[in-house]
Amino acid sequence: MIEWKLGVVQRVVVDDSCDSFDSEGGGLQEVEVLMDGGDGQTLEKAVHYTDSMPVLEAGDKVLLNTTAGSLHLGTGGVHFVHAILSKSTSINNRQSGHIMKLRYTSLQRSVLAAEEPSSPYHELFSSSEQELDGMPVLVGELHSMLPAAVCYLRQLDHGGEKPLRIAYIMSDGGALPIAFSKHVIQLRKLGWLIGTITYGHAYGGDIETVNKYTALLAAKHILHADLTIVTMGPGCVGTNTHLGFSGLEVGEIVNAVSALNGQPIIISRISFADKRERHHGISHHTLTVLREIVQANVIAALPELDGEEGEWLKLQIERAGLIHKHGLHWQWTAVSPDINHEEALRAYSMSITSMGRELHSDPVFFAGVQAAAAAAWNCFQGNKQLRHRDEVDL
């Protein structure tokens, strides 16, 4: 079912239409729209993307998709502007390309994918020998893991000769427009990411690619990343079934990193504040991915916790049969004296929440992200030493 409603824009609340992810533009606006309903007229918020339609102004008549808002869903439970009825909507912000995203829908749009013949990077993907050369790749299930991981990595990198080059790859497991992520907008404003990549039907990154493999290669060989973080966009799906959750893609991405000779590090989803049994301690999502999807060569980093919490994590791993799984490397990370959680997150000007919980209400979640960030940092440092040794030998 799709629910459609008409409305009139009253005012623009947030305008990120100029905070683009490349030189061509394309962001979003949050607007207040006056809508007719069964109880009379109501003023409600809606999201409008400016990559394929002009910016909105007060008085514009719009057609809204109100399905998710009426269902009171979580992250994506808002109204979306589908069409502007009061003016022409022809706009072309993108370079010409022949790869369609949102294919065979009324919203399909063409992008210039890095792999296609008209791309300046086409030759890069023509070789069958491209790989990641050991690049550490942090792979997480939740979008909130992205800003937290960047904060911790920046604190570990403090005082380095050259700032750590961090790339972000957004999968199509959650929100499809990267413009929906306020965290990505902020991280790009701060200059904490060297670039963004969207693949599959996700779109709007600095670089567009067809699949996860070429997205990873683009991070390494186009953006020249030292380290890459991969998560879906805002929003995730779970059905309280064994395999019916969008975070299962973490295992697929980890396997792709390994196949390309990178070093995958899983950001474990951990919480003792979540009241749901399946997400208590290490989430069953993480355990299922590690047990049934991940093939080999992955680091699973966990924080060293005191008392019953630490014992429970170890018991979960044992019960899942993961202690001696071939190719799975557990790293227990003490909370580093070099990391002050509050200080690391304070440097970031936006609030970071996971399932509505901040650091003070779910510290173990953030400790899990910190443990993975520390493991990725150690991998990067190890790679740097190897490169230096090779240069000396030459």
* Domain ranges across the chain: 4-84, 122-393
The lowest-confidence range among 185-194, 209-218, 325-334 is 325-334
pLDDT at 20: 42
CB count in 10 Å sphere of residue 356: 9
pTM for this one?
0.91
Q: Where are the alpha helices (H) located in 262-362, listed in sequence order?
A: 284-288, 307-319, 341-346
pLDDT at 66: 94
Kind and range of the H or E run holding 35: strand 28-37
pLDDT band of residue 287 (cuts 50, 70, 90) is: very high
Structure-token match 């009061």, residue found: 86
Q: Are the beta carbons of 307 and 378 closer than 8 angstroms?
A: no
CATH architecture entry for 4-84: Beta Barrel (2.40)
Distances (CA, A) of 108 to 98, 123, 202: 11, 27, 12
Residue 263 to residue 378: CA distance in whole angstroms: 11
CATH number for the region 122-393 comes to: 3.40.50
pLDDT band of residue 16 (cuts 50, 70, 90) is: confident
pLDDT band of residue 356 (cuts 50, 70, 90) is: confident
Contacts of residue 14, defined as CB under 8 A and 6 or more positions apart, other chains included, come to 28, 29, 30
Question: What are 267's strand-pairing partners?
Answer: 301
What is the longest distance spanned by two Cα atoms in the chain? 77
